[in-house]
Chains A and B, each alone.
Chain A
Amino acid sequence: MLSVRNISKDLTPFAIKDVSFEVSNSQYFVLLGRTGVGKSVLLETIAGLARPDAGRIFLDGKDITNEKMQKRKIALVFQNSTLFPHMTVYDNIAYPLRCRENNGQLSQRQIRQRVNELAEDFAVGHLLAAKPQTLSGGESQRVSLARAVASEPRCLLLDEPLSSLDTKSRSQMRALLRKINAQNRMQIVHVTHDYTEAVSLATHVAVMEAGTIAQVGNVEQIFQHPKSEFVARFVGIRNFFKGRLQEPRDHGTDTRWFSSGSLSLSVLTDSPGGPGFVCVRSEDVTISNTAGKTSARNNFEGTIAEIIPAGFGVEVIVDIGVEIAAMVSPESAKMLELSCGKKAWVSFKASAVKYIEE
C-alpha cells in the first residue's frame, strides 16, 4: 500500500498543497489533471527525484520520505523514452537485474532467462539485439515498461505513458498495463491529462486541480457524481456507461450498437466490437416534451428525476431505465416547463457518443 500524506512542495509559479491519497495493493490509480497542475512533480516526489517541503510518504507501512531513490522499490516510467541509448534492448531490460545487491545477485543464466520472459510478456522478444534509437514509440515504451517491471518494484509510477503513442500502440499498451496490474498485483499510479485513459484503465481516480486533489474515488464516482463544478467541467461527462460494442451488422456503415444492461445506444465509431465504455457529455443531450423527427439516432422517453441548477445552466436528470444528465439553459428549462416527475424525451446524436475501448 502506498500512502501519500499531506505532501506540499513549492515550485514557483505553482505549488503542490497538502496532497493526500492512498493506493492499496493491486489498485490502478489514475491522477487526472490538466498540464501544469503538479502531477509530474508529485510523481517525482513519490519516486524520490524531488524532496517534499512537508508531508510523508509510506510504502507498505514504511516511511520512505527520506529513503534513497534506489532503495525505494518504486519504478518510474516517463512519457519520453529513458532507455539507455548505448545499450541494446536486452541490456536495458537486464540493467535492474544486474543492479540487485541486497536480495541476491543473479547469475548470467538467471538474468538471461528473466529478460527472455519479460521480453515475451511485453512482445519485444524480436527486438532484444536492437538499439533503442531504432525502436518505434510503442516499442520503446514497451521496453521501458519491461525494464521497470524487471526491477520488481512494489509500486509502478507512470508519467503520461500513452501520450506520445499512436492509436494502435495505445490500445496495445493499455492491454499490457492492465495485465501488469492484474498479474503482478503491483500498485500503479498513472498520471495523465486524458480522461479516456482514466476511464479505460483506472480502478480509482484522483482529479487534481491547481496543486490540490479535488476529488478521489472510483471511476463511477468521479464521472457520474463529480463533487465540484471543476471536476464536472474537467471530466465533462456525466453520462458514462460500461458495456459492449456490437460488431456492425452490415458493412459500409460506421454506426454500431452499444449495449449496457437494458440500454442500447447508437454509436458512430470505427472501432472493432468488444467490451468498453461510452460517454456522452451532458451538453450534447437535448430534452423535448414530444418525440419529434430529428437527426439524432438516440431518442429515449423517461421521467425527469431531478433538476439541479449548475452554475452556468440547469442540469436535468432523466430516468430512462438509467439516469441521463442533460445540460440545458435556464430559458429552455422554463420554456419546456420542466419539473420533477414529468415525462420527457432525451435525444443525442450517435456522433456525440464517445466510445472508449477497454
Chain B
Amino acid sequence: MQDTKYQIRNTRYEPLSLAFAALGGLVLLFIVAPLASLFVNCSVPELAETAKDVGVRSSIWLTLWTSMAATMLFALAAIPFAYLLARKDFPLKGLVMAIIDLPIVIPHSAAGIALLGIVSKNGALGKTAAKMGFSFIGTPAGIMTAMAFVSIPYLLNSARDGFLAVPVRLEKAALSLGASPLRVFLTVSVPLAWRSILSGSILMWARGMSEFGAVLIIAYHPMITPVLIYERLGAFGLKYTRPTAVLFIVVCLVFLVVLRLLAGGKNNAQR
C-alpha cells in the first residue's frame, strides 16, 4: 500500500504528463480561486472586529466541540462495528455495507428531515429523551446527532479498511498465546489499524464540522458557524458575512493541520 519501492519516479517531462499537470492546475485553481477571493476581499481590521464578536466566537466554539464530541461518542460504537465488518461474513452483509454509505448519497436536507422524524417530540428517540429530561431539537445533542448521521460513513469505511489490512494470523497468534478476544482486539487489532482509525476520525470530524443542511433542520439554534454564516448572508449581505467565513475556515484549517500532523507522527506499524 505504502510501498514506494515499486513507484516509478519519472523525472522527465513527457507531453502527456504536461497535459495532465495542466488539467490538475485547472482543478486546483477551481478550488483555490474562490477561497483566495474570500481572503483577498477581507481586511485585517474586519477580521479582528469579527474575532471580537461574541456571537461568532461562541458559534465557532460550539461547532468545534459538538463535531469532536460527536466523533468520539460515535467512534465507540463505530470502531467495533468496523472490526466486525472487516472480519466476519454474515447474511446480507452487502446490504449492510450499502446502508452504511447511504448518508453520503442522500441530500443532507433530506437527512435532516428523516432525523427530525425520529428525534422530534413525537419520534421514538425524542420521546425517550423527553422522559429523561432533555431534547434533541435546538440543543447541542441534536447538532451532534445531525453531524454524526452525515459523517459516520467516513469513519466506518476507513476503520474497516484499516482492520482489513491487519493480518489475521497475528490475531490468531495472540489468541494462541492466551489472550482473550477482547484483549486481542485492544492490543493487536486496534493498534495496528490505528492510523486508519485516526484518519477516519479526522475525516468524520471535519465532515461533521462543515455540515449545514441536516443541522439547520434539527437545530437552527444554538447556531453553529455554517448556520450563522447562512443567516448573516441573508440578513446583512456578502461583505458583512465574509470575515466570519474566513475566520471559520482558518480555525478549521489550523485544527485539521494540527491533527494531521499528530496522526502522521505515529506511523502505522509496518507489516
Contacts and interface: CB of A to CB of B under 8 A. Distances in A.
A150 B187 CA distance: 18
A96 B177 contact: yes
Interface string A90-130: 00000110011100000000000000000000000000000
B176 A76 contact: yes
A189 B178 CA distance: 19
B178 A99 contact: yes
A86 B269 contact: yes
Contacts of B179: 70, 95-96, 99
A84 interface: yes
Contacts of B176: 47-49, 69-70, 72, 74-76, 151
B97 interface: no
Contact of B177 (A78, A133, A147): A147
B170 A99 contact: no
Given A78-B173, A82-B169, A85-B270, A70 B192 contact: no
B177 A85 contact: no
A76 B170 CA distance: 11
Given A85-B269, A133-B270, A99 B192 contact: no
A85 B178 contact: no
Contacts of A99: 177-180, 183
Contacts of A318: none
Interface string A58-96: 000000000001111011101000101110000000011
Given A85-B270, A99-B183, A70 B173 contact: no
Given A70-B175, A100-B178, A82 B183 contact: no
Contacts of B178: 70-71, 96, 99-100, 151
Nearest to B170: A82
B269 to A, nearest CB: 4
A16 interface: no
A254 B157 CA distance: 62
Given A70-B179, A85-B192, A95 B174 contact: yes
A33 B7 CA distance: 40
Contacts of B174: 84, 95
B173 A86 contact: no
A148 B175 CA distance: 11
B183 to A, nearest CB: 6
B22 to A, nearest CB: 41
B48 to A, nearest CB: 46
B168 to A, nearest CB: 10
A323 B177 CA distance: 47
B86 interface: no
B177 A86 contact: no
B239 interface: no
A80 to B, nearest CB: 8
Contacts of A133: 270
A101 B181 CA distance: 13
B192 A49 contact: no
Nearest to B271: A85
A40 to B, nearest CB: 11
A251 B170 CA distance: 49
B198 to A, nearest CB: 14
Q: Which of B172, B188, B192 has the most CB of A within 10 A?
A: B172
Most A C-beta atoms less than 10 A away, residue of B177, B191, B271 = B177
B178 to A, nearest CB: 4
Nearest to B168: A49
Nearest to A76: B176
A21 B191 CA distance: 40
Nearest to B266: A86
Which 9 residue pairs spanning A and B have beta carbons closest together?
A: A86-B269, A82-B173, A96-B177, A85-B269, A99-B178, A99-B179, A69-B175, A76-B176, A151-B177
Given A48-B176, A70-B175, A74-B176, 13 more contacts: A49-B175, A69-B175, A76-B176, A78-B173, A85-B170, A85-B192, A85-B270, A86-B269, A96-B177, A99-B178, A99-B179, A150-B177, A151-B177
Interface of B: 167, 169-170, 172-181, 183, 187-188, 191-192, 269-271
14 contacts: A47-B176, A49-B172, A70-B176, A70-B177, A70-B178, A70-B179, A70-B181, A72-B176, A84-B174, A84-B188, A84-B269, A95-B177, A95-B179, A96-B179
